[in-house]
Structure 1
Amino acid sequence: MSRGNENTQEPSIHPVVFLGAGPGDPELITLKGRRLLDQADLIIYAGSLVNTALLEGVGGRCHDSAGMDLEAIITLVLKGYRQGLKVVRLHTGDPAIYGAIREQMQWLDREGVDYEVVPGVSSAFATAATLKRELTVPEVTQTVILTRQAGRTPVPERESLTRLAAIQATMCIFLSVSMMDQVVADLTAGGYSEETPVAVVEKASWPEERVLRGTLKTISAQIGSSKIRKTAMIIVGPALDDASTIASKLYDTSFKHEYR
């Protein structure tokens, strides 16, 4: 906007973007996410959790937030925003799940800063793809629980693994592989049998991903031998059982439906 006879213009203001990078494979970012990264002037990415192959060829300045606290991140975001830069805060997976964006958005709300959230592919679904498994199986389980074991960050008692296990649904357990013994103890105490199938995928969709398959009886020993300690998803429940041959009604020739 011009002021008087001046030829200068105010810098354009672009909303800050909280962007889901996907689980690791650079091709699993959305088309919108790829475009926003390519157009960004300033990218603040979540350390080693984000595959830096996503940042190859971008024109914007990149900052690794691994050594930054919340205030330092927000200070950088606000500086870029107020300079009229296109700012992208790049989170792993989908930022809605354990993305720690709530406190960032609340701070920006207090500052009157405009922002948007662009979803990404969660590591839970990349793990299911690696395992070649559908997480919902007709007449077996129609519920998927996304949760984590209590650690340095507490979990409400009503959402403990022991209580959730009573549902006997598919569970995708984040941020918990380093506590596998306790995970197994809580799940079996809650009602899963020791023979319940379980899989652990480290760095799903990355070139170095590793897959362990077993049961609640065997998985702790496998984790110990593998030395997997972080960046892994645990999936447990009857949907992983190879023995189930129940098929969806969706494509059944006798099933009457309005939409397919």
Structure 2
Amino acid sequence: MIYFVGAGSGAVDLITVRGQRLIQEADVIIYAGSLVNPMLLEEKKPGCEVFNSAEMTLEEVIQVMKDAEKMGKMTVRLHTGDPSIYGAVREQMDCLEQAGISYESCPGVSSFCGAAAALNLEYTLPDVSQSVIITRMAGRTPVPEKEEIAEFAAHQATMVIFLSAGMLEELSERLIAGGYQKSTPAALVYKATWPDEKTCICTVGTLAETGRTQGISKTALVIVGDAVTHSHYRRSDLYHPDFETEFRKPSSQS
């Protein structure tokens, strides 16, 4: 069996209990060495083989999995954050299906959740934003034309932008072209939940300057939208005394 496990956003204690147990039981671990906290590997059992996928191709990763299966070994494919977000897992799963190898997924804490925790941020505020767009800039690898940054910016929703900290000048331009004002709140969160985490509140217009002055050009999320400064939001209806729910009558009827 192959288990795709989310390692969490950085802090070793943000892996799930299930993910930790799978690491402890694994005979083979293939981990994303450029991003996964290596301290998680201290949970492995004696004799467990470890491979760093940062130095491997897809074909090499799959071959390790196939070899482990032939020997009756259990493999953990350890991805950063949650495997479903920029984890390149579908192509691995397709290869396993073609080879008749079973697999399961174990979710993890994505860095966009870690970034919200670092900022004490709620992405979805009443009358501010009720949608979160998770995306990235086109760089060495493209994005579909319909998902270009300016197209998403037109929605004025909260945006969480991955893999784009090295293109902040262009990102700022595309956000403004799409409809955000230069004064729209923004944030840079470097290495969310890691010991050297850094958070910077700025605006869409000062993203590039903030990145330069703070020395942030990679391993950071960009968050855009009025939810960043959490001002001028409406109180939620759910906990309002005059709002009826399945479990509570309005105060006026109690």
> What's the TM-score, normalizing by structure 1?
0.92
Residue 141 of structure 1 aligns with which residue?
129
Match of 2:210 among 212, 222, 240: 222
| Aligned residue runs from structure 1 range 74-89, under 5 A | 74-89=62-77
Superposition RMSD on alpha carbons, in Å? 1.1
For each residue in 1:92-145, what CA deviation from the matched residue of structure 2 results, as whole angstroms up to 9, or x when unmatched? 000000000111111111101000111101100100010001000011110000
Instruction: Note the residue ranges of structure 1 that are not aligned, 5 or more in a row.
Output: 1-14
Give runs of ≥4 in structure 1 deviating > 3 Å.
none
* d(CA) in 2 for partners of 1:193, 1:209: 28
Asked if residue 30 in structure 1 is aligned to residue 19 in structure 2, the reply is no
Code of the residue aligned with 1:27 in structure 2: it is D
Is this contact kept in 1: 2:65–2:75, CA < 8 A? yes
Distance change (3 Å), C-alpha of 1:165 and 1:27 = same
Where do 1:146-165 residues align within 5 Å?
146-165=134-153
Task: Return the alpha-carbon distance in structure 2 between the equivalents of residues 245 and 238 of structure 1.
Answer: 9
Choose which of 164, 168, 176 in structure 1 pairs with 2:164. 176
Residues 130-139 or 243-252, more deviating: 243-252
Aligned length: 246
- In structure 2, distance between residues paired with 1:78 and 1:88: 13
Identical columns (%): 48
> Which TM-score applies when normalising by structure 2?
0.94
Contact 2:125 2:230 in 1 (8 A): no
> Which residue identity does 1:183 align to in structure 2?
L
Deviation at 1:57, TM superposition (A): 3.7
User: Match for 1:194: what amino acid?
Assistant: K
Q: What aligned pairs does 1:1-260 form with structure 2 within 5 A after superposition? A: 15-59=1-45, 60-259=48-247
Measure the CA separation in 2 of the matches of 1:37 and 1:252.
44
Deviates more, 1:245-254 or 1:202-211: 245-254
